Amino acid sequence: MKQWDTVAIVGVGLIGGSIGLGLRERGLARRVVGIGRRESTLKAARQAGAVTSTTLDLAKGVSNAELVVICTPVGRIVTDVRAASEACPQDCLITDAGSTKAEIVSALEGKSLGRARFIGSHPLAGSEKSGPTAAVGDLFLGKTVIVTPTRATRKQDYTALFAFWTDLGANVVSMSAAAHDRILAATSHLPHLAASALAAATPAADLEFAAGGWLDTTRIAAGDPELWQQIFLANQTHILSALGRYEKSLAALRRALERGDGKKLKELLLQAKRRRDALAS
């Protein structure tokens, strides 16, 4: 267990709030500073017990931090990392929780970050819910966190970041930012796109007959459009590749259905079932 003196969290929504709660419930940090742009969110984070203090002033909030975790939307992360790096103490470690990595890591890699150093993180935990009231201290328990060190990453920083996520209950996996973005396009970004298209394609008048299957399949379409628009743009190339594979899968099912080819339909459904059955629940 690594004990932190002061951890600053920029953005105390579901992810940032859950990090704060996790740190506090496990006694991993003496102080957790919540930084945000709306007093109402900061107040909710305080009331949830996710932070020990809050401020609207990022520079002030990170001024004593050993670790800064940027939990803002993908489109703001680079700006927030830079701002934090200019106000934090010498040798401060900065990480993030963004759903894309290559754009962020390449913008920050090898660049001057004042006295701080950055390693990218992406906890594969979340939900269609948002805000500090949805935060739970066990959000990362048993979940995977992908971290994306580069050649410039110092060993002691990687070790500290590894301990941070591990102490919150997560399994840490290390890979390149490019590998992260390719994989997440298939396992997270494409499913979001597919779920959104499905929700949008359902006639409003038919919704009252939507049952468990529709609800499961479209659940993530309830996610924040602003946040997901940023993720889509930041991982455009890989998502378009994954979408291409999906369109081929759909086209194969369409052809079999148009032909009334029951044997082929069953074969395609069986392949899909096997892929799904590889994972539980």
Whose CA is closest to 47, among 5, 17, 89? Answer: 17
**Is residue 196 close enough to count as binding a copy of itself by CB under 8 A?**
yes
**142 is an interface residue for a copy of itself by CB under 8 A:** no
Beta bridge partner(s), residue 107: none
The DSSP call for residue 132 is G
The answer to whether 215 touches 195, Cβ cutoff 8 Å, is no
Rounded to 5 degrees, what are φ and ψ at 54? -140, 160
Q: Cβ distance 51 to 12 under 8 Å? A: yes
Q: How far is CA 110 from CA 103, 177, 244, in A?
A: 14, 14, 34
Q: How far is the CB of 17 from a copy of itself (least distance, A)?
A: 17
Stretch in the footprint of a copy of itself (CB under 8 A) among 9-17, 54-62, 105-113, 228-236 = 228-236
Q: Is 229 in the site for a copy of itself (CB under 8 A)?
A: yes
Of the candidate residues 79, 127, 156, 159, the single one contacting a copy of itself (CB under 8 A) = 127
Q: Count residues binding a copy of itself (CB under 8 A).
A: 86
Binding string, residues 81-120; x marks residues near a copy of itself by CB under 8 A: ----------------------------------------
Residue choice 68, 125, 168, 172 for contact with a copy of itself (CB under 8 A): 125
Is 190 near a copy of itself (CB under 8 A)?
yes
C-beta separation of 32 from 50 below 8 A? yes
* Residue 268 to residue 59: CA distance in whole angstroms: 55
192 binds a copy of itself (CB under 8 A): yes
Assess 136 for contact with a copy of itself (CB under 8 A).
no
Q: Tell me if 159 contacts a copy of itself by CB under 8 A.
A: no
Among 36, 98, 126, 149, binds a copy of itself (CB under 8 A): 126
Considering only residues 12 to 31 of the shown chain, the ones binding a copy of itself according to CB under 8 A are: none
Q: What angle do CA 39, 74, 41 make, to 5 degrees?
A: 15
Helices (H), 26-133: 39-47, 58-62, 77-87, 102-108
Judged by CB under 8 A, the stretch of 12-20, 38-46, 51-59, 212-220 that binds a copy of itself is 212-220
Q: Which is nearer to a copy of itself, 110 or 260 (CB)?
A: 260
